[in-house]
Structure 1
């Protein structure tokens, strides 16, 4: 029996991005692999977006057997992947700031108030610098241009 949304002015064929929370819940509880994959695809596109938040909300009060744990894992993986990508973007910005400054790494580190070894952890993405440190890095890089 195909999935149908009750009391909603939307069909399961509509883009998941347009589904209300009730549709997400219905898809989890009565849908099939196709519906679940579509939800996960939307979460992968925006791990903190509206559908991801709706999924969290549904899973906080409804734990459909067999899919709830899988959706928890999918959400966590999407967020971890996004965080890894963001961390790499910050590391790339740090490396770019160092290069634009025209300074040695040790000199750049000193100018922003940290050690060369700590700067290295920022440049490799092992550690994410604070917002205020990023502002300092941008300022020192701009002075070198």
Structure 2
């Protein structure tokens, strides 16, 4: 089993289940010292004092490998991180898949940002975090 910190649209368990995967939700979590950036896709960037929110889930190893073999997310690389579960304060290690900086910072995707901000709001994360994500969907 692989424990994964999801921070993009994969936080929606039904999206993963719709792909034939069987994720088990561990809980909503926060990752300190990272901030979200939305280019063509979402990625997390190290940033002292920032916080990124997401959902920790477990997936069988073969399902995690299949998920990140998909063409749209193939460039994501796993990084081991330590997150804090929001409902219990428990800290745990999880894999967090991020884009390399030269890929993750490129482009814009306002539709993705809008969709993600709605999901983050539905998950009842910090309103400032919802606004941070929504700002990527606004014209600059």
TM-score (norm 2): 0.26
Q: Which entry has the higher C-alpha Rg, 1 or 2?
A: 1
Higher helix share: 1
Which structure has more RCO (C-alpha within 8 Å, separation ≥ 6)? 2
Higher strand share: 2
TM-score (norm 1): 0.26
